[in-house]
Homo-oligomer: A and B are copies of this chain.
């Protein structure tokens, strides 16, 4: 049976239009999908009337929406009837297999944690996504849920990232690495170094590939890159920014002479393929991993194409049973990963 996806229709910079339009684009790829659409009926009705297949949407009215700048704690307290909260609740109740929101990341994480709880053995959920490299795509986490991380948290991210890579990338034995810098020895023992020791000690079954530096990440040397949420978020956005810088310089170059313009016209079909492959919108949709249900965060500023990518990411996560695999993996790898003494300390 095709999955039912709960949508926070009021989340994101261009909601609700982008949400409905994005769902519609996803329906073109997967006509069997069904959506629970949480949001303001008055604004959604006209959008649904214009949609090709209104019967695929089950509209659930609420007037409450979480503002983009709301504090997570405030959103959690005051947003009980918000479109975001109701979408997450639908997953908990089993009405939907996954929730997708382009709203406030902090609020969504707080609600998802509160409503769905973390999986056994996981202290903190993380944000994970798939990124392109010069070889195969790779998985990176955490992308912003946890600013300060202990070595124990990084170890848990390694386990979740490995399970995610198995489920979503279909890798049999994903190589997992910790993001680090070459000159780290300057300051001696750090959390990353401690995490490396913990992983080697407690996860002997994991294909641990050691440290990777930023440039090695993009050349595709490993399948899973583990880091704290601050560094991961910066890395993700710097990579996007650097791609845009390259693309903008390229556009300037193609406009710089008649000869270059002609060259562009000839190469355009091939260049369009590159642009599409590296388009951040196509990689939109990050999973909140480590929770008792599938929640996917779309970039807040994305368009319909980007939102549809987030919906399709949710569909893949459901259909590859990523969460069940993470639980299995936690048990398989985790037998030695959380000795009682450490549980008390963590």
Q: Do B274 and A270 touch (CB < 8 A)?
A: no
The smallest C-beta distance from A193 to any residue of chain B, in angstroms, reads: 10
Bound CA–CA A181/B236 (angstroms): 10
Q: Which residues of B contact A238 (CB under 8 A)?
A: 214-215, 217-218, 235, 238-239, 242
Q: A219: CB under 8 A from chain B?
A: yes
Known contacts A267-B264, A267-B267; decide if A144 and B214 are in contact (CB<8 Å). no
- Which residues A222-250 have CB closer than 8 A to chain B? 227, 229-231, 233-250
Range class of the A interface residue count: 35 or more
Q: Are A249 and B234 in contact (CB under 8 A)?
A: no
Which single member of B213, B230, B254, B262 contacts A231 (CB below 8 Å)? B230
| A95 at the binding interface (Cβ < 8 Å) | no
| Docked complex Cα distance between A182 and B182 (Å) | 27
Answer whether residue A263 sits at the interface, using C-beta atoms and an 8 A cutoff: yes
A274 B253 Cβ-Cβ under 8 A: yes
Interface string of A167-196 (1 = CB under 8 A from B): 000000000000101111111001000000
Instruction: Contacts A214-B233, A230-B181, A234-B179 given; indicate if A253 touches B241 (C-beta within 8 A).
Output: no
Asked whether, in the complex, the Cβ of A185 is within 8 Å of the Cβ of B71, the reply is yes
Asked if A148 contacts B190 (CB within 8 A), the reply is: yes
Q: Which residues of B contact A266 (CB under 8 A)?
A: 259-260, 262-263, 266
CB neighbours (8 Å) of A233 from chain B are 181-183, 213-214
A184 partner residues in chain B, CB cutoff 8 A: 147, 230
Q: Is the CB of A186 within 8 A of B72?
A: yes
By the criterion CB–CB under 8 Å, are A147 and B186 in contact? Answer: yes
Question: Contact flags (1/0) for A258-277 with B, using CB distance below 8 Å?
Answer: 01101111111111011001
Contacts of A243 in B (CB 8 A): 242, 245-246
Give Cα distance in the complex from A145 to B181, angstroms.
10
**A264-B253 Cα distance, complex, nearest whole Å:** 12
Q: Is the CB of B254 within 8 A of A270?
A: yes
Verify if A49 is at the interface (C-beta below 8 Å from B): no
A72 to B145, CA, bound (A): 34
> Contacting A216 at CB < 8 Å: which of B182, B241, B254?
B241
A257 at the interface (CB under 8 A from B): yes
A87-105 contacts to B (CB < 8 Å):
105
Give the contacts of A23-63 with B (CB-CB under 8 A): none
Known: A234-B235, A260-B270; 12 extra A-B contacts, CB below 8 A, are A106-B186, A147-B187, A179-B234, A181-B230, A183-B229, A213-B233, A231-B231, A240-B242, A253-B267, A254-B267, A256-B273, A260-B269
Offer 24 A-B interface pairs, CB within 8 angstroms, sorted by A: A72-B185, A106-B185, A133-B245, A146-B187, A147-B187, A214-B234, A214-B235, A214-B236, A214-B241, A215-B241, A216-B241, A218-B245, A219-B244, A234-B235, A235-B238, A238-B238, A243-B245, A245-B278, A246-B246, A253-B273, A262-B263, A262-B267, A263-B263, A263-B268
